[in-house]
Amino acid sequence: MSGQHIDGLEYHLDAGGELSGIVKMLGEGTATPASTTVALEAVDLPSSSSGTTPADDGSFTVKNFFAGRYRVRLNKKPAECYVKSVKLGGREVDLDAADLGAAAGALEIVVSRAGAQVDGIVLGADDKPMAGATVVLIPASGRISDYVSATTDYDGTFNAKGAAPGKYQVLAWEEIEPGAFLDPEFVKPFEAGAEGLSLEESGHAKVTLKAIPYSARTL
């Protein structure tokens, strides 16, 4: 019944735990860049996403942490870097759906400075360089963490850095809704015109792309 007080009712909010971890930088320089942050994006409950800034030695602690599945992201890392592996208590976990628990051990994020890069130029329908086009490296792995995107400069050139080793399809759009390229069904109609690449660590590829016109983006 509304409007009545209920005596003796207690409601408890469980406090989150702590998750400790470390970011290990491979290659020249072992210190974690000051701007870099660790972000844990909850897969099943976005409101519980959390993050923190590692110390110079890469160590970090996420407070008020709740166990669950998370996307492990390293934001504002150097452009040439990619996340090589993520381990929890010494066991490798999926970057896009890591099952994390505060009691399962420390989180180790290994970052390589040897990311591959792809550069080149994007041409419009008139075969002239196109500024402001979106270039996307679409990974055969399907992992969201492996996607790399770049925007063309005033002269139609681009430089996409920090790609993980693997196979990719490279496409360019005149204009595209943010994140639309993450949907395989959206990309499917354009795959025939994609540039296929196989990238290794520290690899460098150069391509010339024809921009997909805005009018064709939903075909």
Cα–Cα–Cα angle for 37, 45, 82, nearest 5°?
30
Nearest CA-CA partner of 160 in 190, 134, 128: 134
What pLDDT is recorded for position 10?
A: 43
Whether 15 shows a pLDDT value over 60: the answer reads no
Which of 54-68, 88-102, 193-207 is modeled with the greatest confidence?
A: 193-207
Tell me what percent of the residues of the chain surpass a pLDDT of 90: 67
Entry pTM:
0.83
Whether 9 shows a pLDDT value over 50: the answer reads no
Can you read off the two tokens belonging to residue 212? 């997909």
Whether 208 shows a pLDDT value over 60: the answer reads yes
Query: Mean pLDDT lowest for which of 147-151, 153-157, 169-173, 215-219?
Result: 215-219
What pLDDT is recorded for position 47?
A: 63
What pLDDT is recorded for position 5?
A: 45
What pLDDT is recorded for position 51?
A: 81
**Confidence tier at 199 by pLDDT (50, 70, 90):** very high
Mean pLDDT score of the chain, rounded to an integer?
87
What pLDDT is recorded for position 2?
A: 44
Whether 120 shows a pLDDT value over 60: the answer reads yes
β-strand 116-123 against 148-151: which pairing, if any? unpaired
pLDDT per position as a tens digit, 127-138: 999 999 999 999
Q: Helix %, strand %, coil % for the chain, to 5?
A: 10, 45, 45
**Confidence tier at 177 by pLDDT (50, 70, 90):** very high
Strand locations in 96-182, DSSP E?
98-100, 107-112, 116-123, 134-139, 148-151, 157-163, 166-173
Quote the radius of gyration of the chain (alpha carbons, Å): 21
Residue 44 φ then ψ, to 5°: -95, -20
Whether 24 shows a pLDDT value over 70: the answer reads yes
Mean pLDDT within 15-21: 80
Q: DSSP letter at 181?
A: G
**Confidence tier at 214 by pLDDT (50, 70, 90):** confident
Whether 121 shows a pLDDT value over 50: the answer reads yes
